[in-house]
Amino acid sequence: MVSSMEMAQPAAGEGAQGRSTREDWLRLALQTLIRDGIDRVKIQIMARQLNVSRSSFYWFFKSPQDLYGQMLDHWLAKNTGPILQRSLRPARSITEAILNVFECWVNEELFDPHLDVAVRLWARRAPEVLKVVASADQQRLDALTEMFTRHGFAPGDALVRARVLYFTQIGHYTLDIREDMALRASRTRAYVLAFCGQEPTAEELARFGATIRVATGTEARPG
């Protein structure tokens, strides 16, 4: 913790600095977590990278723990919120419902796999972070289970299918499997069939294909 004098005055050699914002600190902290791990999310290191005094950190955060909490809040909003939203989206069939969830797997604006893996690695070393991750996993699984239940699956069957769907995708990211998007898209029908035992319609697959093209920038977004 810096002293009140350090907070009031810039450190020596830091007279010609720029300004920072809360978003600058948080963005850099998340980028550092993904690239280098939580051990490198340090005030002094980030202050040098932002070209600001380390004391400026305390304009935006009460403590490093406050920053960590806001990093986890960002992760929850970024990676859990969209899964819950798409699990709850009205769908005419379970196959359409699954494809709604698949949108999270093909669009990093909806789900950041690199951030998810980084937070899970952090959680292995921090029990308080592990609790947050476990709670988020349960929320995601509950939403997926309810999705299967709404479409007529028995509770036990819904739970297992939700777990298979979710664990398959999280395992894909954890193992760092690299696949061309075109190859992944070509397997969509087979994955949907494996997860629910029902064939998606040609119309559903076509809509999802359009979603992939928009997410990957190969098709213009609707105006």
pLDDT in tens, 63-80: 999 999 999 999 999 999
d(CA 191, CA 199): 10
Q: Does 64-215 carry CATH code 2.60.40?
A: no
d(CA 119, CA 73): 11
Least confident window among 12-26, 72-86, 113-127, 170-184: 12-26
The predicted structure's pLDDT at residue 219:
54
Percent of the chain with pLDDT over 70: 90
Average pLDDT for residues 52-65, to the nearest whole number?
A: 94
Q: Name the residue ranges covered by the structural domains of the chain.
A: 12-60, 64-215
Average pLDDT for residues 43-51, to the nearest whole number?
A: 95
pTM of the prediction?
Answer: 0.85
Is residue 207 scored above 80 in pLDDT? yes
CATH class label, 12-60: mainly alpha
Contacts 24+ apart (CB under 8 A), 1-8: 1/63, 2/54, 2/55, 2/58, 6/54, 6/55, 7/55, 7/58, 8/55
Q: In the structure, what pLDDT confidence band is assigned to residue 222 with cuts at 50, 70 and 90?
A: very low
The predicted structure's pLDDT at residue 182:
87
